[in-house]
Structure 1
Amino acid sequence: MRLYEERLGVPGTWFWVAALPGVMTFAVLLFAGPAIAVGAMVTVTALAGWGLHAYGGVGIVVTGSHLRAGAMRFPLASLGAAEMLDEEEAFLWRTRRADVRALMLLRSYVPTALRIEIDDPDCPAPYLYLSTRRPATLLAVLAFARA
């Protein structure tokens, strides 16, 4: 049973940026003919859009026994204290205060985050940094799931 689920999709305006490589491809290949240029533009734009969609397809899922963040999976018992990070604190923890051993699910377009200490002696990472749009909800769900 899933207690929490969040997909960290890219902002919609980023898909306009995906059109730029297509337009550049069109301009470069226009000398080869308009049909080839249009076909290449559509292909490159579709590939850039697919890449953005895949990049934003990562998510956070909390079940009754595990936390899954992207490809990482942790039993809830191995997680320690969690701290909500506002925009300023999140910036500091992903730049100056960051530990190179930390595990991060980082999306720069998501301003807030949650920092969770890892209490597993087998895991060398001191904490887990999760970009999330709803840090208060995620913190409450983790507290509920651990209780």
Structure 2
Amino acid sequence: MTATTTFRERLYVTWWIWPLPLLAAALLAAEVHMGFPGVRSWLPYVILLPLTVVLIVRMGSTKVEVAGGELRAGDAHIPLDLLGEVEVIAPEDKRKAMGPYLDPAAYVVHRGWVKPLVRVRVNDPEDPTPYWVISTRRPEELAAAIKS
């Protein structure tokens, strides 16, 4: 973390999601091996399994950060002085917050395997987004970093 970074978290894919894509890649490699007998037997495995790992890591992770006077979540960023109330949403209230109580205009960075959420109000009159909902494993730390 730099001197101006007060919070940083990378939300990676949890371990229990990995077996299914890796199994699918192994099965696809086996099919390629059986379908093209002239191809070296190890080649589809050497290509498809590492490619699957790279895809899981790149597509399944996102960064949440408070640094340089901005909140960054996913691909978006907003200055901290445009943010209002910060609310920590407990795991047991996540279903309501992401379901019937979710504003369709809200900016959402959600990872299903991360239970707690933080909801941050946006006080910018020119921004149609009423609030941000962000998945985080350390909601109290993120809320404190936004408030400071």
- Structures share fold, TM-score greater than 0.5: yes
Shift of 1:48: 1.7
Q: Using the alignment, how far apart are the partners of 1:87 and 1:81 within structure 2?
A: 19
Aligned to 1:18: 21
1:80-124 deviation line (CA, Å, top 9, x unaligned) = 101101112222211222111100111111011100111111110
Aligned to 1:140: 144
Q: Which runs of 5+ in 2 are unaligned?
A: none
The answer to whether the aligner puts 1:42 opposite 2:46 as a matched pair is: yes
Please state whether the residue corresponding to 2:42 is helix, strand or coil: helix
5 Å-filtered alignment, 1:100-119, equals: 100-119=104-123
Shift of 1:33: 2.4
For this pair of structures, how many residues does the alignment match? 144
The answer to whether the aligner puts 1:2 opposite 2:5 as a matched pair is: yes
Of stretches 57-66 and 113-122 in structure 1, the one that deviates more from structure 2 is 57-66
Q: Using the alignment, how far apart are the partners of 1:38 and 1:117 within structure 2?
A: 53
**Alpha carbons 2:121, 2:130 under 8 Å: kept:** yes
Q: Which runs of 5+ in 1 are unaligned?
A: none
Q: Using the alignment, how far apart are the partners of 1:36 and 1:25 within structure 2?
A: 15
Shift of 1:36: 4.2
- TM-score normalised to the size of structure 2? 0.88
Please state whether the residue corresponding to 1:47 is helix, strand or coil: helix
**Alpha carbons 1:114, 1:139 under 8 Å: kept:** yes
Of stretches 121-130 and 63-72 in structure 1, the one that deviates more from structure 2 is 63-72
**Alpha carbons 1:7, 1:56 under 8 Å: kept:** no
Aligned to 1:99: 103
The verdict on how the C-alpha distance between 1:131 and 1:34 changes in structure 2, with shifts beyond 3 A counting, is farther
**Alpha carbons 2:29, 2:48 under 8 Å: kept:** no
**Alpha carbons 1:25, 1:37 under 8 Å: kept:** no
Of stretches 29-38 and 128-137 in structure 1, the one that deviates more from structure 2 is 29-38
